[in-house]
Amino acid sequence: MAENADRNGGSGEGGGVNPDIVDDALKLVDSLQRRLLAAGVRRGVSAVTSPPPSKGDVWEEAIRMESDQQRPALEEVLDIVRTSAPEVAGHLGRAGLAMVGALGRTWDVVERSLEQTRADAADQRRSGEDPGPGRDGGTADGTERRVTARE
């Protein structure tokens, strides 16, 4: 008997449902129904009772989005520039750096060659040597060779 008393809301810890909680829940449901009814009267009964309009299936919406959305050419070009510009700028930057590096190395080679030529010419002037046949534009027999437009 003691067990039945505990189960049916007796003095035990695991007692039944508290009647105050049930009353509170019923009051909340009643209040909600009244608010929904008042909102339905304000907006119109059809707004509350009718389901929302159907969007259609996924394929219908995808076809509609694809066929209706013709973007202007300028917008498409700007979208291409926005997505491709970072990659293009990276490539151009790396190419520019490679070109500047190659030009710098080439200039170093040209400078060394010019300095070597100047040093050789200065050494020849100091030593007073005859440059020899063919070096100054002469020929082996001592006559000077001239270049004309026909050659």
Average pLDDT, the chain: 76
pLDDT of residue 138: 53
- Averaged pLDDT for residues 74-87: 88
- Averaged pLDDT for residues 55-75: 75
pLDDT of residue 134: 52
Interatomic CA distance for residues 85 and 93, integer angstroms: 12
- Averaged pLDDT for residues 90-101: 94
- Averaged pLDDT for residues 76-82: 88
Angle CA 110–116–119, to nearest 5: 140
pLDDT band at 35 (very low <50, low <70, confident <90, very high): confident
Question: CA torsion sign, 20 to 22 to 24 to 26?
Answer: negative
* pLDDT higher than threshold 50 for residue 1: no
* pLDDT higher than threshold 80 for residue 45: no
* pLDDT higher than threshold 90 for residue 102: yes
* pLDDT higher than threshold 60 for residue 79: yes
The lowest-confidence range among 16-25, 48-57, 78-87 is 48-57
* pLDDT higher than threshold 60 for residue 6: no
pLDDT band at 127 (very low <50, low <70, confident <90, very high): confident
**Token digits of residue 92:** 């151009």
Alpha helices (H) along 16-145? 19-43, 45-49, 58-68, 73-127
> Looking at residue 72, what DSSP letter applies?
-
List phi, psi (to 5°) of 94: -65, -40
